[in-house]
Amino acid sequence: MKNVVLPAPFGPMIETIERRWASLAIVIVVVFVVVAIAAGLHQATMPQSRVETVDPRTLHLGGEFIESNLGSAVEPDGSVTVRAIGQQYSFTPQCILVPTDTPITFRVTSADVVHGFIITGTAINLMLVPGYISSIPARFSTQGERHMPCHEFCGMGHEGMWGRIKIIDKAAFAQMAANAKRLSCVQ
Ligand code: CUA
């Protein structure tokens, strides 16, 4: 096969075009890296878009986290709001009761130090920071019982700090909710 020799002006011209494309490819990669770094730094340093605060010293005196308001509440739209408190070294309520196939919102806070709120076998995982309300949406498709161990070291009694969550049939829950304003499975 004969070597293809391009006429004099084309060789350098193609080289220039290739160089330009190569430079462009490098620029694109650099732009992606810069965007990734900027987005990461922004996310790590900016506060959450929505922060709800609560005074941990007066939780028991009134407001959303007063003891009589803790547990599961059925909202007018049929969804369920679960309110709970973590304190050294227990959760209130100790046993949370929720229905299956229902949109649920957990609203949890701490009365003293930082605690962890996790429901085993699910992606529900919150940090309870005194002064702030931690909130997460959830939905359970299967009935059963799960554990909620505190997963932030909170003092000498940390290992003993855990609760339970009982997921029951939607209809059974509705029946119980008809007779009580707030539900839990604490005996
Ligand atoms: Cu609460 Cu560890």
pLDDT score of 7 more than 70:
no
Confidence of residue 127 (pLDDT cuts 50, 70, 90): very high
**Regarding predicted confidence, which is higher, 49 or 73?**
73
Sign of the CA dihedral running 152, 153, 156, 160: positive
Angle at 107 between CA 106 and CA 113, to 5 degrees: 120
Residue 132 CB-half CA count within 13 A: 13
Confidence of residue 93 (pLDDT cuts 50, 70, 90): very high
Q: How far is the CA of 178 from the centre of ligand 1 (A)?
A: 34
Q: What is the DSSP string of 10-59?
A: HHHHHHHHHHHHHHHHHHHHHHHHHHHHHHHHHHHHSPPSS--B--GGGT
C-beta of 130 in contact with ligand 1 (< 6 A): no
Confidence of residue 8 (pLDDT cuts 50, 70, 90): low
C-beta of 110 in contact with ligand 1 (< 6 A): no
Can you tell me which atom of ligand 1 is nearest the CA of 151? Answer: 2
Can you tell me which atom of ligand 1 is nearest the CA of 155? Answer: 2
Q: How far is the CA of 156 from the centre of ligand 1 (A)?
A: 9
C-beta of 91 in contact with ligand 1 (< 6 A): no
> Tens digit of pLDDT for each residue in 147-169?
999 999 999 999 999 999 999 99
85 pairs with which residues across the strands?
92, 109
Separation between Cα atoms, residue 63 and residue 158, nearest integer Å = 27
Q: Mean of the per-residue pLDDT values for the chain? A: 92
Separation between Cα atoms, residue 154 and residue 111, nearest integer Å = 12
- Percent of the chain past pLDDT 70, that is, above it, reads 93
Q: How far is the CA of 28 from the centre of ligand 1 (A)?
A: 47
Can you tell me which atom of ligand 1 is nearest the CA of 115? Answer: 1
pTM: 0.75
